[in-house]
Amino acid sequence: MLPIDLLPSVGLVAEESVHFALDTPEAYEEWMHYLPPGAGVVRLGPENRAFIVGMFHELHCLQYLRDEVVAVEPVWPHVQHCMNLLRRAVLCDADTTLEPGDFTERDFTSDRLGQYHVCRDWGAVYDQMAVNWVEWWKYGKAHNITVLGKPKSVDAVSGK
């Protein structure tokens, strides 16, 4: 587990969106916006072992599945891996929010709001990812390890 406290819970009202389409030019950037510095990988422990945080692995799989739906030649083993990962994530989360009726009967143009969900504080996860990335970048610089991309917040953290 990533060493952070995810309490208290936060609320999320699910709503339909024109964003995150399958095949628009903007879709790739919209999906990439959810990846933190380091693409969801943290470095932990005295040897800076690399781990991908489950939340970002799941987001990667959603993006990958979106890409493969419109791909000319999908890469099925990766698709299968992502489907299994997302199945596990859904079971692990066990969201018990009650969602009424048949979604196909909703007019998503006028009735955009869905149900209220109780979620873990994903903002805390993004904050910890940024801190970890800065620490890894500084470690890499101090130990002559190439770390691609300078974190935006390194100057603020290092006082430069």
Residue 146 lies inside a defined structural domain of this protein: no
Letter for the amino acid at 63?
A: Q
Better-scored residue on pLDDT, 102 or 124? 124
pTM: 0.78
* Radius of gyration for the alpha carbons in the chain, expressed in angstroms and rounded: 19
pLDDT at 157: 47
Residue 152 lies inside a defined structural domain of this protein: no
Q: pLDDT tens, 70-102?
A: 888 989 999 999 999 999 999 988 888 877 777
Residue 55 lies inside a defined structural domain of this protein: yes
Task: Please confirm whether the linkage preceding 8 is cis (ω < 30° from 0).
Answer: yes
Q: Please tell me the total count of domains within the chain.
A: 1
Which domain range does residue 35 map to? 10-133
CA distances from 55 to 44, 50, 63 (A): 17, 15, 13
Q: pLDDT tens, 19-34?
A: 888 888 888 888 888 8
Residue 139 lies inside a defined structural domain of this protein: no
Residue 39 lies inside a defined structural domain of this protein: yes
Residue 38, class by beta-carbon neighbours within 10 Å (0-12 exposed, 13-18 middle, 19+ buried)?
buried
Residue 157 lies inside a defined structural domain of this protein: no
Residue 6 in tokens: 């995810």
Strands (E) across the chain are located at 10-15, 41-44, 49-52, 113-119
Residue 160 lies inside a defined structural domain of this protein: no
With cut-offs at 50, 70 and 90, classify the pLDDT of residue 158.
very low
Residue 72 lies inside a defined structural domain of this protein: yes
